[in-house]
Every structure is written in structure tokens, then in C-alpha cells.
Amino acid sequence: MRFLVCLFVFCVVTVRNVHGQEPTPKAGQHASQPAASESVLRLDNLLAWCIVPFDSARRSPAARAKMLRELGIVRCAYDWRAEHVKDFEEEIVQYRQHGIEYFAFWGGHEEAYRLFEKHDLHPQIWRTLSDYSSGKKNVPPTPEPSGQEKLNSAVAGILPLVTRTKELGCKLGLYNHGGWGGEPQNMVAVCRRLRQLGHQHVGIVYNFHHGHANVSNWQQSLDAMLPYLLCINLNGMNDNGDPKILGIGKGQYEQEMIQAILQSDYRGPIGILDHRPEMDARESLQENLSGLDALRQTLKAK
């Protein structure tokens, strides 16, 4: 009897494998993976960004974690000001209690690093590269550094943080924020040099809202950054950044830019913004969620 049961199961499995198998997935894609528009833009792949100092409601860590959970956003990149240092640990605790991933930390702070070690936390650290303005007054002008000199200086300047983040087990994301250090080709050059030096944990965090100058060459910039991208933060995109912060789906160019992301091999996290101090962070995030959902449906129809 056992032999007959085993033979029946074997026959069913064999027939299913021959006649009912799933289509062969593309390289790098598992058979169970949904289409790119489904996987990259799905809700649990999104993270909230710029929701701490920019929130007009001035939420506490507990209220912020509760708000994210109610919106269905389960990741947060943490930005802060000096007034928030005292709340660093409470933010970590509240995120864990509400099932929110503490995904990234802005800039750097030794108290935060101490808490990351205490709580066995390993968020990405996001930092901008130098823009090479001395900031000094009444200094005679000097010749503009060459591209190689800027590259060498940028690598040397970021190396202490490269070492510190490696010790913490955290990825380091070079964050575009204008200037020389915010240009995709320069971030790529710095990443390439650092990885040649053995620092494989260094990558790029690209922000639409600091990338209006890259709209016209977005495909080229995306292709160059792709091997290093750790996160992409979205925004509505108009000519000349007018306005700079705009809800997703309300601009002229973000649909085409996001479509390029979906057609690429990028499968990493996607950030949505508040970054509007005059608005409640919940309203800003909900506006972006709604805009992204409408854009997703449009792209799927195409």
C-alpha cells in the first residue's frame, strides 16, 4: 500500500514539473518574485525619510512609530537635530515595539553609535561628500583643484567614517546633497576607489529632490550608479526644482524617472519624503503613498 501511495505522489509531481512549471525567470530573479513594478514599489519596500525635524506635528518617538505603523510603512530613515539626541534611544525602542525597521541614520553621532552597539543595530549611515568650498573669508583665490585632486581629497576626507561604519557593521551611503559631492559621476568615482581599497560596504543613496540637475541625463546617471545604489528617495520633479519638494505624481518628470528604475536591475529600497515643515508628516507621507499607487497603476497599464 505504501508503495502505491509513493508511486502516485511521484507521478503527480512529475506531471506538474513537465506540464505545469512556472516560466523560467530572468537572470537574477527568483521564480516567485513579482514584476519589478510590484516588488520595488510594494509597500513593505518603502521607507519614510525626513519625518523627524520636518514634522509640523512634532511627534514623539512613540507617536511617530505609531503613525508609521498605521500607514503601513515598516521602515524609517532617521534624520535629527541637536534637540533629538536625548531621544535617540527611545526612538530605537519605539521602532522595535511597533515593528518598524530602523533603516538608516543621518550624518553621524557618537551617542548614536554607542546605542547601535548596545542594541545590536546596524542601520545604513548616510553622509554627503565635501563640496570643496573653504568657507573662509578674505582668502586669496586659489586655482580650482583638478578632478583627480578632488577625488583624492574626498576619499581622504570620508575614510575615518568609512572605518567607523565598518567597525559598526553598518553600510555607508554617500548622499547627494548638491555640489561636487552630489554629482553621480563623482559619487561613483569615490565608491569605486573605496571599494578598490577593500571597503565593500560603501554605496550611494540617491535623492530625487537633490537631483534636479540630473533629470535630463537620468538614464545615464542611473546606469552609472546602479552597482553602488543602497537606496533611492523619490520626489515629484519639475523644471529647476520648482518647487523643490513635491508630492509624487504631481511633477513633470518623476514618472519617466521611476519607469527607468523599474526597467533597471535595481531591487533595493525606495524612500518617500515629508521634508515639508509646514505640513503634518502623516499628510505628506499619505500624499506620496497615494501618488505612488496611482503612478504604479499607470505604469502597470503601460
In this predicted structure, the answer to whether residue 19 has a pLDDT above a threshold of 90 is no
The answer to whether residue 10 is domain-embedded is no
User: Domain span at residue 163?
Assistant: 35-130+146-301
Distance CA(62)–CA(271), nearest Å, equals 21
* φ, ψ of residue 219 in degrees (nearest 5): -60, -45
Q: In the predicted model, what is the mean pLDDT of residues 237-260?
A: 97
The answer to whether residue 28 is domain-embedded is no
pLDDT at position 37 is: 53
The answer to whether residue 151 is domain-embedded is yes
Mean pLDDT of the chain, nearest integer: 87
The answer to whether residue 291 is domain-embedded is yes
The answer to whether residue 118 is domain-embedded is yes
Q: Is the peptide bond before 34 cis (omega within 30 degrees of 0)?
A: no
pLDDT at position 210 is: 97
Between these two residues, 300 and 17, which has the higher pLDDT value? 300
Distance CA(139)–CA(159), nearest Å, equals 27
In this predicted structure, the answer to whether residue 252 has a pLDDT above a threshold of 50 is yes
pLDDT at position 196 is: 98
Distance CA(49)–CA(69), nearest Å, equals 14
Q: How many structural domains comprise the chain?
A: 1
> Which stretch of DSSP H or E encloses residue 68?
helix 61-71
- Dump pLDDT digits (tens) for 109-120: 999 999 999 999
Say if residue 148 is exposed, middle or buried (CB neighbours under 10 Å; 0-12, 13-18, 19+).
exposed
pLDDT at position 141 is: 58
The answer to whether residue 177 is domain-embedded is yes
In this predicted structure, the answer to whether residue 74 has a pLDDT above a threshold of 50 is yes
The predicted model scores a pTM of: 0.85
**Residue 221 CA: distances (Å) to CA of 182, 201, 240, 245, 251:** 12, 21, 18, 21, 20
The answer to whether residue 105 is domain-embedded is yes
CATH code: domain of residue 86:
3.20.20.150
The answer to whether residue 29 is domain-embedded is no
